[in-house]
Amino acid sequence: MQKLLIRVLYSIGTHSKRWVVWAVCALATVIVVLLLNSTTWFPLAYYRVVNNNADRGARVMGPDSFGDRFDRVVYLDQGWTPADSLWFYNITQGSDLLPYDMFLVLEQDNSQELFRSAENMNRYRYLTRTQTKSNPDELPVGMVADTYRGKKYMGFSCAACHTAQLNYNGVGIRIDGGPSAADMDGFLHALASALKATQNDPAKNQRFVAALLKAGSYGNADDVEADLKRYTLRMEAYNFINDTKYTDDTKNAKVQYGYARLDAFGRIYNRVEVHVMNGESLRWVLVDLLPPDEIDKVLNELKPVLSDQDRDQVMEQLASVLSETQLKEFRKRVFNPPNAPVSYPFLWDIPHHDYVQWNGIGANANIGPLGRNAGEVIGVFATLDWNEKKRLSLRSLVTGQGLRAPYISFQSSIKAHNLTQIEERLWGLHSPQWTDAVAKAGLPGLDDAKVKRGERLYDQMCAHCHAKIESTSDNRRVVAQMGKLSETGTDPTMANNSVDDKGYSGILRKEYVKTTEVGNILLDARAPVAALLTKATENVVATPDPDKWFFTRGADWAIDLINAYFKNQIKPSIKSGNYTPDTTAQPYESLRAYKGRPLNGIWATAPYLHNGSVPTLYDMLLPASPEKDDPSGTKYRPQKFMVGSREFDPAKVGFKAGGLLGKSPGTSSEFEFDTTLPGNSNAGHECSTRSLTDDQRWDLVEYLKSL
């Protein structure tokens, strides 16, 4: 392509005939059109022709440590073809967790079994796959290859957290866009342990080095050892930062996530904080931890890192100069404990919303979806080459900083163009239908009389917050109905953190951030993390992909921004519902709320409430805790239950707990969810549950299945 353009330019310079000029212009137009659209239609066309596996590469699994088994996998009709699913599973968004070949050959910490083995991936509830043309190394759903600055990485795609499976009578029902059951926190801790063991165990180390040299991704053993040390420190630093208990207060219990949930926002905020820290903010943090001369020494040693392209090394460097006690104090001052795990949201209807995320923090208008998805990639290990450049650059105009020097470069591995395509593909994703699962997987059929009675109850009790929509209409729109914390009564931790958490602005200091309703915020030395994340994602998506040829880079960048502002069918609008509006004094106060959304497909999204604290739909219709006027025999939501199994209970609609599988708690890999711990409350959203008879509860459950 480059040689062709050179010849074209040469032709323009050496010929003066008008027809040549017109021909060149026509050819250039064709080239531009192809470049603008190649990354849009070509990958999906490839999947449709070459890699259109009917089973999407799904792997069956025998009885595992959870007691689960499935002998075949079925897919429900959600508006996607097999090619659409495979494309979604394999498209990179720019996540760079670990060098690709390093992940392929890494052993588990306590055995020679590969860390990526199907059994181990299933242990963390990632959906395993067989070999396909687009997945030659049999990685699970949502683990993909990414290339950045000439190096190949393994990272996460959207599908890792947003693809679900339910098991029923030996059949795995795969749900595209459904909430994952993954234990990402456990996975990342185990990955750090495996890397550490490979460092310390001579036999493991020898096998590891030999395998990577054989793969050809490293030229010598020293380079392998250097990367092993680097990524071990990086994973340990990440897990240390994201410990959920930053205090020695024994009343503040450490929150464990378990399966099917993650404090994604807390972790995204902390990762942004790592990459915006500069010498000025570090000096403020260290002022009471080290003597002045030692602070100067530390900052001098960190200068190359702070001015280079790899700020992930900041914590690694600090770990070498601060004691464990000092590091813990540093963490407490700089970061926020990610102590509000929530269920992975389901994705059908997401592009059709006016506001998204559990507390409506993401506006879907204009560039909103691109910024939202870029923030997600930041959280799952995008390479972030953010630093201050002393020279003048037009790029600062593009990113909203004005024409100035110095300016902040926001280059990264984030594939904004791919994120645009993913969002477009989600417009065609529909919610799964129970009747389809009846036909394909043998779920019990619906009781029409119960459905009709349940619909009447739903219209009376639920529809004002959970609107009915035509779930397959391209023109459907979803208005999020916000309910403030005092109204919903559900666990407030996630919503409060999004408003109350603050961080050092570092390289973002003195930048302006536009809020949804009340104007601009000028970032001070410390600022709301919501504002820091907003500014960071805006700048990332406004920065062209550094890995692409300059012409393609500019074309993709332009078309993404044009689509965001002019093609996006969701326009700016005010929030709906009962919430506390933002003010100039409290510009993020409206986030102390949770949103109601349509419940089509809700049957396939257990466990319930935003924090996954209720195991089944039937349990959702029970009161949370006793009140003095309750009659004897009143049933309540479970205070403790086991999570991790995918075995589906079609009566109560949710996953079966350990006891229901004939196992005693603690004898399987399942995780005990304790609703009495901070962040885990199952209170609220009772919606007149005490007034329901048990028959009415079952009628409502039957209707909810039908949505």
Question: Taking residues 686-691, what's their average pLDDT?
Answer: 88
Q: Which range has the worst mean pLDDT, 443-447, 495-499, 509-513? A: 509-513
Which residues 6+ apart lie within 8 Å of 308 measured at CB? 387
pLDDT for the residue 6: 41
Question: What count of residues does the chain have?
Answer: 707
Kindly tell me if the per-residue pLDDT of 297 is higher than 50: yes
Cα gap 653→617, rounded to integer Å = 6
Kindly tell me if the per-residue pLDDT of 216 is higher than 90: yes
Q: Are strands 171-176 and 72-75 parallel, antiparallel or unpaired?
A: parallel
Domain positions in the chain: 2-50, 72-215, 264-338+348-431+471-600, 434-470+606-706
Please give the residue that has the higher pLDDT: either 175 or 416: 175
Which amino acid is it at 263?
Answer: D
Kindly tell me if the per-residue pLDDT of 629 is higher than 90: no
Kindly tell me if the per-residue pLDDT of 616 is higher than 60: yes
Kindly tell me if the per-residue pLDDT of 149 is higher than 80: yes
Which residues 6+ apart lie within 8 Å of 215 measured at CB? 101, 104, 105
Cβ(76)–Cβ(163) under 8 Å? no
Cα gap 611→477, rounded to integer Å = 25
Q: Please give the torsion angle defined by the CA atoms of residues 622, 626, 629 and 634, in that order, rounded to the nearest 10 degrees.
A: 50
Residue 396 pLDDT level (bands cut at 50, 70, 90): low
Estimate the crossing angle of helix 202-215 against helix 184-200, to 10 degrees: 100
664: burial class by Cβ within 10 Å (0-12, 13-18, 19+)? exposed
Question: Taking residues 567-591, what's their average pLDDT?
Answer: 91
pLDDT for the residue 575: 92
Cα gap 684→656, rounded to integer Å = 23
Query: Percent of the chain at pLDDT above 70?
Result: 85
pLDDT for the residue 64: 87
Query: Tokens 């006891």 sit at which residue?
Result: 659
Kindly tell me if the per-residue pLDDT of 350 is higher than 60: yes
Closest CA to 496 of 391, 353, 340, 601: 340
**Start-to-end CA span in the chain (Å):** 51
Strand stretches in 54-203, DSSP E? 72-75, 98-99, 143-148, 151-156, 163-168, 171-176
pLDDT for the residue 140: 97
Question: How crowded is residue 402: how many other Cβ atoms within 10 Å of its Cβ?
Answer: 8
pLDDT for the residue 17: 55
Q: Which range has the worst mean pLDDT, 511-515, 548-552, 562-566? A: 548-552
Q: Which range has the worst mean pLDDT, 109-118, 156-165, 392-401? A: 392-401
Kindly tell me if the per-residue pLDDT of 280 is higher than 70: yes
Q: Which residues pair with 164 in a beta bridge?
A: 175
Rounded to two decimals, what is the model's pTM? 0.90
Segment 190-204, tens digit of pLDDT: 999 999 999 999 999
pLDDT for the residue 377: 94
Kindly tell me if the per-residue pLDDT of 254 is higher than 90: no
Cβ(73)–Cβ(170) under 8 Å? no
pLDDT for the residue 94: 94
Kindly tell me if the per-residue pLDDT of 668 is higher than 60: no
Structure tokens at 289: 């931890």
pLDDT for the residue 698: 98
pLDDT for the residue 468: 94
Segment 15-32, tens digit of pLDDT: 445 555 566 665 555 555
Q: Say which DSSP state 151 is in.
A: E
Question: How crowded is residue 638: how many other Cβ atoms within 10 Å of its Cβ?
Answer: 17
Cβ(122)–Cβ(64) under 8 Å? yes
Which amino acid is it at 125?
Answer: R
pLDDT for the residue 3: 43
Q: Say which DSSP state 161 is in.
A: T
State how far Cα 509 lies from the chain centre.
Answer: 27
Please give the residue that has the higher pLDDT: either 288 or 76: 76
pLDDT for the residue 22: 60
Q: What is the CA radius of gyration of the chain?
A: 26
509: burial class by Cβ within 10 Å (0-12, 13-18, 19+)? middle
Kindly tell me if the per-residue pLDDT of 598 is higher than 90: yes
Residue 458 pLDDT level (bands cut at 50, 70, 90): very high
Q: Which residues pair with 114 in a beta bridge?
A: 107
Q: Which residues pair with 155 in a beta bridge?
A: 144
